[in-house]
Structure 1
């Protein structure tokens, strides 16, 4: 049984800032989540065509901005002009896409913590992992608690580990594929982040015995949260910042 290193992050993490209650991955969303008492947030980071890490989940711009096409194929000068809030509601019209640096400054100024999901445009997995990790190390230099870097993409985590091995990492999983635990260990991960339905007593014990932490996404029902707490998992990522009190 491996000894688990200290875990400085809270149990409750606000998904993309405030779940569905504000336009995801915008500073408005992180302010909204913070107003509900959340101290840690999850975001998605990818690269513009000229290498600027910015926040967006999808490969394409269409769902969450007034732009069209693949976000990673456009320069930051064009992406910065898009409306990333109007799709959600008129109250958020004009909200811009933030850079990772914008969010870092907000978090550091307010002592908030961050889980950065490395979400590469297909074909840029390694590069995105490297650039996001370097930028995270630069922005959080000297901070007491660094951001947690996670990804579904093994190559992104390999890239992050190669350039900034001291930053904590977590492997995201939507299924417990063969060799999942060995993959997390090979990547030097401190956490495994699963679809919440995948956890049971056995898988939690495997992760804990390997010296890692067990986190879950995306938990929006009270029964699911109670099950995960009873299993002894370490982190819950939720859209329902209005339902779950992070102090509870």
Structure 2
């Protein structure tokens, strides 16, 4: 475990971009996050059937596009033909599911920090990490920093650690661990990310007492955000990129 702390020197990461104001995980959501004052964005990387990394959260395209089916069952060409904006608002008609390359170029142009969530479809955990890392090694400027990877998948994070050992990693959990420091050591990660579902006062105190860097998702209430930050969280993820922390 490194003594560097915190790895993410900002209290807010815009969850899937400014997803309260623009369709999540689209380039429009990244521009909106910047416009509303965010300094970091979080995105999700999944693989198409033909092995291209695209920016989408769900296993299926149904919720956030006008298509149906598994991301892992569609080619890049199939995915790119979809409308990823109209479901959110007609004003965003024609928004595409971005490629990872496009996303990186946009984030760099906007001078944002980037949380890359490796979101494998069950079975392609290792491949998702390999292709995501290959893309980052090609397009993310060496030495720039302000980027880390996260996942619920231990296999994805393990492969990422082998390929990009200098990039911080966050392990994502639903149940706050009894011993956060031991868990991070076991999975070879530096940061813990928790969903808010089961994060009661006792769990928050346990995380704070452990001394690990931790973040909480997804927090859309200013009151909740302030309580969590006061309770020791370094960062919260929010759909509201302009949450006034």
Whether these two folds match at TM > 0.5 is yes
Residue correspondence of structure 1 range 67-78 to structure 2 within 5 A: 67-78=67-78
| C-alpha separation in 2, matches of 1:183 and 1:136 | 26
Map of 1:56 onto structure 2: 56
Q: 1:180 Cα deviation (Å)?
A: 5.6
Q: What pairs with 1:1-248 in structure 2 (closer than 5 Å)?
A: 3-5=3-5, 7-177=7-177, 181-196=181-196, 198=199, 199-206=203-210, 208=211, 212-242=212-242, 244-245=243-244, 248=245
TM-score, length of structure 2 as denominator length: 0.91
Superimposed CA distance per residue, residues 173-218 of structure 1 (whole angstroms, 9 cap, x where no aligned partner): 1112566643321232120011235242222221x2xxx4111111
Distance 2:46 2:209 in 1: 33
Deviations 1:51-95 (A, max 9, x none): 111100000011111111101121112211111001111000110
CA–CA distance in structure 2, aligned partners of residues 72 and 126 of structure 1: 14
SS at match of 1:115: strand
Q: What is the alpha-carbon distance in structure 2 between the residues aligned to residue 36 and residue 107 of structure 1?
A: 14
- CA change 1:180–1:200 in 2 (3 A) is closer
1:95/1:139 Cα in 2 relative to 1: closer, same or farther (>3 Å)? same
Check the 8 A contact 2:17/2:241 in 1, yes or no. no
Distance verdict in 2 for CA 1:148–1:2, change over 3 Å: closer
Once residues 202 and 122 of structure 1 are traced to their aligned partners in structure 2, the CA distance between those partners, rounded to angstroms, is 31
| Partner SS state of residue 132, structure 2 | helix
Structure 1 10/180 Cα, relative in aligned 2: closer, same or farther at 3 Å? closer
1:2 Cα deviation (Å)?
Answer: 7.0
Are the aligned partners of 1:136 and 1:147 in contact in 2 as well (CA < 8 Å)? Answer: no
Residues in 2 aligned to 1:82 and 1:143: alpha-carbon distance in whole angstroms: 35
Segments of 5+ residues of structure 1 without an aligned counterpart are: none
Provide the C-alpha distance between the structure 1 equivalents of 2:146 and 2:136, rounded to a whole number of angstroms.
8
SS at match of 2:23: coil
* TM-score, structure 1 normalization: 0.90
User: Aligned in 2, Cα 1:89/1:81: closer, same or farther, shift over 3 Å?
Assistant: same
Shift of 1:143: 4.2
